[in-house]
């Protein structure tokens, strides 16, 4: 039972400067008079403040506070703590399932006789409809409007559902489509840095349903991605159970050299941290090099936390943060309150003062002067390639066996030329030719230096007479309307347009798989000649099959490099020695001829990026736009489910629900549905990108009268479990060991030996009454924090995943859906244990949930007489799966409401 907060004695008044009144009260860390706090990393201090402020000896206990204060000694022991974030951030695609689940909870409570109107978020929820654009309309001045109209035509039902949710649920802010990508809107507008709620001040912190929620860490706001299941629990006031993390201290020295971009820095940092090993940890940046990094540079590094595997890449608030807050239109009063509170509570870094040495779990150091231009690829974001080595590395990839750095193209085929006709003109493609070049995603489009740098490259190229081949699909998708304003003010947007980099919309595009179709003639040339075509994009994800099914080589690069590679038309080039193209006077034009200096970029940033742009852009958010404002939606707090809808469907999670949650379950004589190797990402598992015309999901839609041109994307249909279950494991680049080298979304139904789609095989197993498991290698579930990567397998009937290792968020989502995550013991894997996947597997768990302990040994027995010991990856004491989780959250929510005076 909750009690009065035992730390109320340190509640302190914060006075305004000059005796002009008070900002409010706050829980003062210095008032604890505990010297251990001075040595804590800043990121851990935010966890500490949250625990103190929310301490009620019920959900958060004094003992939890002590664990955090004693972080230096307790974090190596992997102790568990509760954490209550200040708010929850929902992205459009992941927000739809969350609102669907909330609507289902209301229905369930209504049927059980409870007060369904009490099902509302208890913490602020920011939901950004970031208008993820399918790039079907590009290279035209009206691309934004055309794509917007197309998106509303395709997604009217989904947008209408979210608009209903904005009215049906309290404490939920919905940012309309067309405003920007979720993480940039969060950075420029939603991020509070410090909250003032009912006169109590506390640090902003956020968990979001997209793994790149970490971008906000660049602003000094503690934020990271969680699964939709965890987010829903947090929305309803349930504290998150987490392991007190280790913190890697990353010291930055020096200054970036001329011509080196923030993207080059982040790809270097990503490679360093992946090598160091930071999964499940915080990374905190410090050192004198910090003063040389703009807030946008910091946000770029923080955004890529999932790519280097950390929970957070955190930059404490300092004078650079305050400058950015003023630039983005926050009021002087707000900035003064933020600075005063953080200074008073020892959460502000002032580099003009002597620094108290903080303790970290481990240490890394990078001199910014050592960073050089680079890209990453062709299949993973941490496979960095220095630009000077790109041509050599490309040819090595052609030669290498199929893998993360190989395509196994025979020597005699490496110089193949695929001839085709494009709009009546002869054309050709070779291995490495670029067919998609996209300045896209949240990673870089928050950063004026690289965006205006790209525009300067375009200007120089146009003035020299260079052009982009017309069959290369080029696009520019800024993260917010502010980018449009400063590109126009600078006078540089017209040069990007000349090269085909027209603005197509404000949201996720190519990076998430919304590339749209490649011209049919180009597509035929690629497929008929088995060409390894390339995409170059300024995003954060380049996993195989994600960007486009026909681009087998995908490279991450800075926006200026995206323009350079589009001009060159190939990744098979040495920029130091080979020309990019021929100018209008017949001379060879080299990379160095079009590359702007750091001083050039700084000058145009200084003159073009103004505070009024941010204020004007975000003042318009509350007004919406005509298409959004004209959406007609039903009233009422209970949603009227339409059984014929192919977008919004009532999922089965709450069927036969009672107020008594079911217990744990084991697995009996299960068949192996899929047998995987290493690095199976959530892109392989979760439905993403376009819906293939021959897939089970396509079959489902066609049966319901949906024309192929109206299939839309899996992301747009995340509110329909029937579509999503059929799209689970439907990635055309997935590699299943059962298929002996064949690539694609098929598997073997073991009893019959039939080769079927994964969905059809799962349905056959279920109809026969069989459980299913999955075998996997290392880093299972890496990538975006997609709850459908766990919901989908659960709906297929998967009961357990046995892997060498799991990515943090995905492992948590599996537990949330009732799928048992097991790890092979170190040194073991399916191959070393002699497992073929054709066996039947039995996993015994105690029927009493109280007998289950985090990390306990579990024996797996097969019908072939083999048995092995694995580790149960329930990492904390709080163990739920979805049907019981949401019941318990509802009960907890109602109990808390009843206890509030």
Model pLDDT for residues 247-299, shown as the tens digit of each residue: 999 999 999 999 999 999 999 999 999 999 998 899 999 999 999 999 999 99
Give the pLDDT mean for 85-99: 89
Whether 207 contacts 226, CB under 8 Å: yes
Q: Which residue has the higher pLDDT, 630 or 19?
A: 630
3-state secondary structure of 1: coil
Looking only at the bridges linking them, the beta strands covering 125-128 and 87-91 are parallel
The sign of the CA dihedral 504, 510, 516, 518 is positive
Q: What are the beta bridge partners of residue 186?
A: none
143: Cβ–Cβ under 8 A, 6 or more apart, which residues? Answer: 137, 475, 502, 503, 504, 505
Helix spans in 710-843 (H): 721-727, 758-767, 788-796, 808-816
C-alpha 328/C-alpha 188 separation (Å) is: 6
Structure tokens at 540: 């954060």
C-alpha R_g of the chain: 27
Residue in the structure block whose two tokens are 């949240």: 442
What average pLDDT does this structure show over 416-439? 96
For residue 118, name the pLDDT band (cuts at 50, 70, 90).
Answer: confident
- 377-386 confidence digits (pLDDT tens): 999 988 999 9
Q: How confident is the model at residue 787 (pLDDT cuts 50, 70, 90)?
A: confident
- The answer to which of 142-151, 325-334, 373-382 has the lowest mean pLDDT is 142-151
Residue 885: predicted pLDDT = 43
Mean pLDDT calculated for residue range 839-846: 90
Bridge partners of residue 13, in order along the sequence: 25
Q: What is the pLDDT of residue 882?
A: 38
Percentage of the chain surpassing pLDDT 70? 94
What the chain holds in terms of domains, given with CATH numbers, is 1-81+245-372 (3.30.499.10), 85-243+623-651 (3.30.499.10), 374-609 (3.30.499.10), 667-883 (3.20.19.10)
Confidence band (pLDDT; 50, 70, 90) for 887? very low
pLDDT of residue 377: 95
Confidence tier at 881 by pLDDT (50, 70, 90)? very low
Looking at residue 1, its pLDDT comes to: 54
DSSP tally for the chain: helices H, then strands E: 30, 34
- Rounded CA gap, 454 and 492, in Å? 9
| % of the chain at pLDDT higher than 90 | 67
Query: Is the pLDDT reported for residue 883 higher than 70?
Result: no
Structure tokens at 493: 């947007």
Rounded CA separation 337/349 (Å): 16
Looking at residue 492, its pLDDT comes to: 97
Range of weakest confidence among 189-198, 249-258, 537-546: 537-546
pLDDT band at 537 (very low <50, low <70, confident <90, very high): very high
Q: If you write DSSP's letter for every residue of 416-466 in order, what string do you get?
A: --EEEEETTEEEEE-TTBEEEEEE-SHHHHT-HHHHHHHHHHHHHHHHHT-
Name the maximum alpha-carbon separation found in the chain.
81
Q: Region 361-385: what's the mean pLDDT?
A: 96
Helix (H) or strand (E) holding 393: helix 390-399
Nearest to 509 by CA among 453, 439, 565, 433: 439
pLDDT confidence band for 834 (50 / 70 / 90): very high
pLDDT at position 804 is: 96
Quick check: 893 pLDDT over 70?
no
Confidence of residue 242 (pLDDT cuts 50, 70, 90): confident
Tell me the mean pLDDT in the region 122-148: 78
Give the position of tokens 């192919």. 646
**Three-state SS string across 821-836, please?**
EEEECCCCCCCCCCCC
Rounded Cα–Cα distance for residues 20 and 298 (Å): 34
Predicted pLDDT at 896: 39
For residue 488, the model assigns a pLDDT of 95
Contact 437, 558 (CB under 8 A): no
Amino acid 108: pLDDT? 82
Measured distance CA(131)–CA(479) in Å, rounded: 11
Lowest mean pLDDT among 276-290, 531-545, 623-637, 667-681: 623-637
By residue count, the chain amounts to 901
Task: Give the Cβ contact number of residue 561 at 10 Å.
Answer: 28
128 contacts: CB under 8 Å, gap ≥ 6:
89, 90, 91, 92, 95, 174, 175, 179, 180, 181, 182, 185, 186, 190
pLDDT of residue 398: 97
Rounded to an integer, what distance in angstroms lies between the CA atom of residue 685 and that of residue 745?
10
Q: Categorize the per-residue pLDDT at 214 as very low, low, confident or very high, splitting at 50, 70 and 90.
A: very high
Whether pLDDT at 618 is above 60: yes
Q: What is the mean pLDDT of the chain?
A: 90
- Is the pTM of the predicted complex or chain greater than 0.85? no
Given a cut of 90, whether residue 446 has pLDDT beyond it is no
């Amino acid at each position: 039972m909750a009690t009065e907060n035992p730390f109320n004695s340190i509640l302190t008044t914060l006075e305004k400067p000059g005796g002009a009144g008070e900002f409010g009260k706050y829980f003062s860390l210095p008032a604890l008079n505990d010297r251990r706090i001075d040595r804590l990393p800043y990121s851990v201090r935010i966890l500490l403040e949250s625990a103190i402020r929310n301490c009620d000896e019920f959900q958060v206990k004094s003992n939890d506070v002590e664990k955090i204060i004693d972080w230096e000694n307790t974090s190596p022991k992997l102790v568990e703590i509760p954490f209550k974030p200040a708010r929850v951030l929902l992205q459009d695609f992941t927000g739809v399932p969350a609102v669907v689940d909330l609507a289902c909870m209301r229905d369930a409570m209504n049927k059980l006789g409870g007060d369904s109107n009490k099902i509302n978020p208890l913490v602020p929820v920011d939901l950004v409809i970031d208008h993820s654009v399918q790039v079907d309309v590009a290279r035209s001045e009206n691309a934004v409007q055309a794509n917007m109209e197309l998106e509303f035509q395709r997604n009217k039902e989904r947008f209408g559902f979210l608009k209903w949710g904005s009215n049906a649920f309290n404490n939920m802010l919905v940012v309309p489509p067309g405003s920007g990508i979720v993480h940039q809107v969060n950075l420029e507008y939603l991020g509070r840095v410090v909250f003032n709620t009912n006169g109590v001040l506390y640090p902003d912190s956020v968990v979001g349903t997209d793994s790149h929620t970490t971008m906000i860490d660049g602003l000094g706001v503690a934020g990271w991605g969680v699964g939709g299941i965890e987010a829903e629990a947090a929305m309803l006031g349930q504290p998150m159970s987490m392991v007190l993390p280790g913190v890697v201290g990353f010291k930055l020295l020096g200054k970036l050299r001329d011509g080196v971009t923030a993207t080059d820095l982040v790809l270097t940092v990503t490679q360093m941290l992946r090598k160091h090993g930071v999964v499940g940890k915080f990374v905190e940046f410090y050192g004198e090099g910090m003063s040389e990094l703009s807030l946008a540079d910091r946000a770029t590094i923080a955004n890529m936390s999932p790519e280097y595997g950390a929970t957070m890449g955190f930059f404490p608030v300092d004078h650079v943060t305050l400058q950015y807050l003023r630039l983005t239109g926050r009021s002087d009063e707000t900035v003064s309150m933020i600075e005063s509170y953080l200074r008073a509570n020892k959460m502000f870094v002032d580099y003009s003062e002597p620094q108290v040495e903080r303790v970290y779990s481990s240490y890394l150091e990078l001199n910014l002067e050592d960073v050089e231009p680079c890209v990453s690829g062709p299949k993973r974001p941490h496979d960095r390639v220095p630009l000077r080595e790109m041509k050599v590395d490309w040819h090595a990839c052609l030669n290498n066996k199929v893998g993360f750095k190989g395509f196994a193209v025979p020597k005699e085929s490496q110089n193949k030329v695929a001839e085709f006709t494009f709009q009546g003109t002869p054309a050709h493609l070779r291995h490495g030719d670029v067919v998609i070049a996209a300045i896209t995603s949240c990673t870089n489009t928050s950063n004026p230096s690289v965006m205006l740098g790209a525009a300067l490259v375009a200007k120089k190229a146009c003035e020299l007479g260079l052009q982009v081949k017309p069959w290369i699909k080029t696009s520019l998708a800024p993260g917010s309307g502010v980018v449009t304003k400063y590109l126009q003010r600078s006078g540089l947007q017209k040069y990007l347009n000349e090269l085909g980099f027209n603005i197509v919309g404000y949201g996720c595009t190519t990076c998430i798989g919304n590339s749209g179709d490649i011209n049919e003639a180009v597509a035929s040339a690629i497929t008929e000649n088995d060409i390894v075509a390339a995409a170059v994009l300024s995003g954060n994800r380049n996993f195989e099959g994600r960007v486009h099914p026909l681009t087998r080589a995908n490279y991450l690069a800075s926006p200026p490099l995206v323009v350079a590679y589009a001009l060159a038309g190939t990744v098979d080039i040495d920029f130091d020695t080979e020309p990019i193209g021929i100018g209008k006077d017949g001379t060879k034009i080299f990379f160095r001829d079009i590359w702007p200096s750091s001083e050039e970029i700084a000058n145009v940033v200084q003159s073009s990026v103004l505070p009024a742009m941010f204020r004007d852009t975000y003042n318009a958010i509350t007004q919406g736009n005509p298409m959004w404002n004209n959406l007609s939606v039903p009233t009422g707090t209970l949603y009227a489910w339409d059984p014929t809808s192919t977008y919004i469907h009532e999922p089965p999670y709450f069927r036969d629900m009672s107020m008594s949650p079911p217990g744990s379950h084991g697995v009996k004589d299960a068949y192996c549905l899929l047998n995987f190797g290493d690095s199976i990402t959530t892109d392989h598992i979760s439905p993403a990108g376009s819906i293939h015309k021959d897939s089970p999901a396509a079959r489902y839609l066609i049966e319901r009268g949906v024309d192929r041109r109206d299939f839309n994307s899996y992301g747009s249909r995340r509110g329909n479990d029937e579509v999503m279950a059929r799209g689970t494991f439907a990635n055309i680049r997935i590699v299943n060991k059962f298929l002996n080298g064949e690539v694609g979304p098929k598997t073997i139904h073991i009893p019959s030996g039939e080769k079927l789609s994964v969905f059809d095989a799962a349905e056959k197993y279920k109809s026969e009454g069989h459980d299913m498991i999955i075998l996997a290698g290392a880093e299972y579930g890496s990538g975006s924090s997609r709850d459908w990567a766990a919901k989908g397998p659960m709906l297929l009937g998967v009961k357990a995943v046995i892997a060498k290792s799991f990515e943090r968020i995905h492992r948590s989502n599996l537990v949330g859906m009732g799928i048992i995550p097991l790890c092979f013991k170190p040194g073991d894997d399916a191959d070393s244990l002699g497992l073929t996947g054709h066996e039947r597997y039995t996993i015994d768990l105690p029927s009493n949930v109280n007998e289950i302990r985090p990390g306990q040994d579990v024996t797996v027995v097969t019908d072939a007489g083999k048995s092995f010991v694995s580790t149960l990856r329930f990492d904390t004491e709080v163990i739920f799966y979805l049907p019981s989780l949401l019941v318990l959250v509802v009960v907890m929510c109602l109990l808390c409401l009843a206890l509030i005076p």
